[in-house]
Amino acid sequence: MRAISYRPIRMGVAMITAVLATASPVIAQAPTDLNEAIERALKAASARVAPTIVKIETAGGAEVISGGKKGGPPGPIIRKGTGPTTGLIVSADGYVISSSFNFANKPTEIFITVPGRQRYVAKIVAHDQTRMLTLLKIDATDLPVPVPFPKKEIEVGQWAISLGRTLDNNIDRPPSMSIGIVSATNRIWGKAIQTDAKTSPVNYGGPLVAVDGRVLGVIVPASNRAEGETAGVEVYDGGIGFAIPLEDINRVLPRLKEGKDLKRGLLGINPQGADAYNFPPIIGAIQPDSAAARAGLAIGDKIIEVTVGGETKKVPNYSTLQHILGPLYEGDEIALKVVRGDQELEFKSIKLMGTVTAYVAAFLGVLPMRDDPGPGVEVRYVYPNSPAAVAGIKEGDRIMKLAPANVPALSPIANRAALLAAMQRLTPGTEIKIELKRKEGEKVETITAKLVPMPDILPERLPLPSSAGKALEEQPKPKDPFPPGKKPFPPKEPGFSSIHALQPDAKQDDKPKIETGFLTRTNEALGREYWVYIPDNYDPNVSHGLLVWFHPAGQSKDGEKIMRTFRDFAEDHHFIVMGPKSNNNDGWVASETELVMQDVKAVLGQYTIDRSRVVAHGMAKGGEMASYVALNARDVFRGVAIVGSPLGTAPKDNLANQPLSFFIAVGDKDPILKEVLESRDLLLEKRFPVIYREMKESGKEYFDLKTFTDFLAWLDSLDRI
C-alpha cells in the first residue's frame, strides 16, 4: 500500500505561524501576509489529498429516489441527477468508499475515474447501513491512499475543508473546495463529525480534510431523526454537514471487503418516556426475540451503566444510551448494569442484533370509559368473539387488576392510561389474569384471557356516553395558599402587597366563557394561519380527540367545508378538528413539518385533549403530508387516515410505547391505486394495525358514505384495548 507523503505539520495554526515567521516584520503587512498564508495552506491541503479523490458516474436506475412522485410530495424531492459524484480511495488495491446516497437509485452501471489514470468500471462490494457508506471496487493497483486524522485529536474549532469531484470535467484539476470548521464531534448518535463547511450532493462521498491534508472523514447526508440512504439530504443547505471519521471506516474496511453488509447493532428496547434527554433510561418496551429479550432484561429496568470494549460509561438518560450504542454494529457485544426494584443486576456479553421482530399490538377486545379517575377502568363496549368476550367480560364491568398468568400477584389498574400502558408491555399469545368488579352486584371475580394480535375490525356500535366527564379530576391540583373562599386581587396602590389582599371567590357566572365554533388563529411571528373547530358542547372535563386535517394542494380555504363534514360527529363523540395551512401552492413540503407541529401543540396546550386519539388526516398531497408528519412525530400522533394517497415517507418499525394505527381508503379507479396498495403492504410488513377500504366505482373522490361511517367508527375506537 502506497501512501501520499505529508509534512509533519499538526494543525493549520502551526502552518500559518511558520509562514508568518518568514514574513516582513512590518506590522501593517500582517493581515495581508496572514490571508496569503491561509490561502497557501488551504491550497496545499487540497493538493495533498486530491490524488485520492475520484469522480464517480452512474447510468440507469430509478429516476426518483425516496422522495415520492413528480409534483412535490411532502417528503424530500430527490430526483437523481445525471452529473458525477465523489468517492475516496481507501485501499491501494482498488477499493473506493462513497456515500450510499450516490447509489440510492440502484444504478445499473458505475464508472470511476482516478486522477492521472483511466476510467474504470466499478462494482458495489458492500454497504455500511448504519453509517450510510458504500464500498466499491475497481480493477486497479498501487493507488494512493489518504492519511486519516486521528479521532482523538479532532478538536471543535479546527479548520475543515470539504472537497468534491463533480464541478470540473478535467479530473486532473483541483477538486471543488468549501472552507469551514469542525463545529461538533460525536454527532448523529456518536457516528459523525459536524462541520459548517459546505456539504451537498456535489461532495457527498468526498473527504472532509484538515488544514494539514489529513482526512477527517467522508462526507454523507445524515439526520438524527431519520435513517436511510437519503436521510438529511433535504437540509444540505442548512449550514450543517456531517462526515464519518476515516479512522472508523478503516477499522471496518476488512469486513466490508469480504462483501458483508454491516448493520446497526440493536438492543431492541424503547424508553418509558418520550423525552430522551431528561427522562431516566427506563425500559418501556422490549421487542420480541431481540437482544434485550434474549438477555433477560425486563420492562421497568433502569439502565445505569453500559460497558463497550472494556470501557464503562454511566447512563443518566436515554439519549446517552443512544450515543453509546449508536456507533455499534450487529454482533458487537456490550454489558449492562440495571436497577430492578431494589436490586442491581448485571447482564454480560449481550450480542447486539441487526434486526428485531416488529412489535405487534396485543388485543383484549374492549373499549374503555374515558375520563374516569378510577380506581380501575369501566368497560363501555366488548368486541364480539374477542378474548374479552370469550372470557366473559361485559359492558359496565370494571377492570381492577391485571397481570400475566405466570405472575403470582396482580397489579392494580389505576385508570385508563395505566391499562393502556400495561397492555403495551404485553404480546399476543400471552395469557393474563384480570380481576373484575361486576356491574351487577359489584361482585369481584378473577378471570383469564389469552391475548391475540390487534385485528383489522371495527366496533359494531359506539355506545354513549363514552366519557365519565371527570377529566380534570385526573390532573394533580396545585396547593392553594389562600384561605377557603378567598382569592388575591391586584393591588390598587403602590407598595400594597397583593398577597395580603383577599377577596371572595368569583361566582360561577364570572368564569371566562370558552369560545366555540369555527375559529381562525394567526401566528403573527411566523405569518401563518390555521383554523380550529371547537364543538358548541365543549366541556374541559371531557377529553376530546384531535383530528388534524391536511388539505390537498391548492385547497387551503376548505376549512369550513371540513368543519361541516365533522360537526355532528365532533359534538357526539368529543372531537376537535383543526387545519394547518400550507404556504406552498403546489402542495406541502417537508420543511413545513415543524411549523405545523407548532400549530398542533398550541391546540394541545389549550384544550383537554385525549392523547390516545390524536389523528393526522388528509387527501391526495395532503394525505402524503399527514403520514409524513405523523411518522416523524410519533410522540404526538396515534392515528393516520389518508384518502387517495401513498405514504409520504417510509415507515420505521411499529413501537410499543408510541403505537400508530392507519385508516387507508382509495378509489378502485384511482390511477395511484397500485402505489396505495404498496404503502398498505409496507405498513403491514412493519406490523402496523391497518384498516383498508377500496371504494367501488370511485376515482379521486373523498370517502363515500359507507367508508366515511367506517372511518368515524375507527376514529372513536383508537383507544381500544
pLDDT 10s digits, 549-572: 999 988 888 889 999 999 999 999
pLDDT at 67: 44
Q: What is the mean pLDDT of residues 667-679?
A: 92
Report, as an integer, the average pLDDT of 150-172.
Answer: 89
Q: State residue 355's pLDDT score.
A: 75
Provide the residue count of the chain.
Answer: 721
**Highest averaged pLDDT of the listed ranges 62-71, 265-274, 606-615:** 606-615
| Half-sphere exposure in the Cβ direction for 172 (13 Å, CA) | 4
For residue range 221-232, list pLDDT tens digits in order: 886 655 555 555
Residue 459: pLDDT over 60: yes
Give pLDDT, residue 389.
Answer: 95
Residue 26: is its pLDDT beyond 50? Answer: no
- Binning pLDDT at 50, 70 and 90, where does residue 240 land? confident
What's the grid cell of residue 422? 400495561
**Residue 188 has what pLDDT?**
86
CB 666, CB 690: distance < 8 Å = no
- Quick check: 628 pLDDT over 70? yes
Domains of the chain (ranges plus CATH)? 2-43 (no CATH), 50-257 (2.40.10.120), 269-351 (2.30.42.10), 362-453 (2.30.42.10), 517-715 (3.40.50.1820)
Instruction: Return the beta strands (E) in 210-315 as ranges.
Output: 215-220, 241-245, 269-271, 283-286, 302-308, 311-314
Determine the average pLDDT of the residues in 348-372: 88
Residues in contact with 226: Cβ distance below 8 Å, sequence separation at least 6, in sequence order: 232, 632, 649
Q: In terms of pTM, does the model score above 0.85?
A: no
Asked whether the predicted pLDDT for residue 715 surpasses 60, the reply is: yes
Residue 3, classified by CB atoms within 10 Å of its CB into exposed (0-12), middle (13-18) or buried (19+), is exposed
For residue 646, whether the previous peptide bond is cis, meaning omega lies within 30 degrees of 0, is: no
Q: Among the listed ranges 114-123, 148-157, 584-593, which one has the minimum average pLDDT value?
A: 584-593
pLDDT at 231: 55
What are the tens digits of pLDDT across the range 268-287?
Answer: 887 776 666 777 888 877 77
Burial profile 6-34: b = 16 or more Cβ within 10 angstroms, e = fewer: eeebeebeebbeebeeeeeeeeeeeeebe
Residues contacting residue 309 through CB under 8 Å, at least 6 positions apart: none
Q: Is the dihedral of CA 657, 357, 128, 318 positive or negative?
A: positive
Separation of alpha carbons 248 and 192, rounded Å: 10
Reference 87, options 116, 112, 106; nearest CA is: 112
Q: How large a percentage of the chain has pLDDT more than 90? A: 54
| Biggest CA pair distance of the chain | 102
Cell output for 420: 393502556
Grid cell listed for 406: 405466570
| C-alpha to C-alpha distance for 379 and 163, rounded to whole angstroms | 64
Mean pLDDT, residues 447-470: 91
Question: For residue 613, which phi and psi values (nearest 5 degrees)?
Answer: -130, 50
Give the pLDDT score at 233. 54
Q: What pLDDT score does 30 carry?
A: 58
Tell me phi and psi for residue 19, to 5 degrees: -65, -45
List, in sequence order, the alpha helices (H) in 99-245.
187-190
- Stretch 401-424: mean pLDDT: 86
Give, for 55, the enclosing helix (H) or strand (E): strand 53-59
What is the mean predicted confidence (pLDDT) over 7-33? 45
Mean pLDDT, residues 234-238 taken together: 55
- How confident is the model over 480-509, as pLDDT tens digits? 333 344 333 333 322 322 222 233 343 444
- pLDDT of amino acid 15: 43
Question: How much is the pLDDT for 159?
Answer: 93
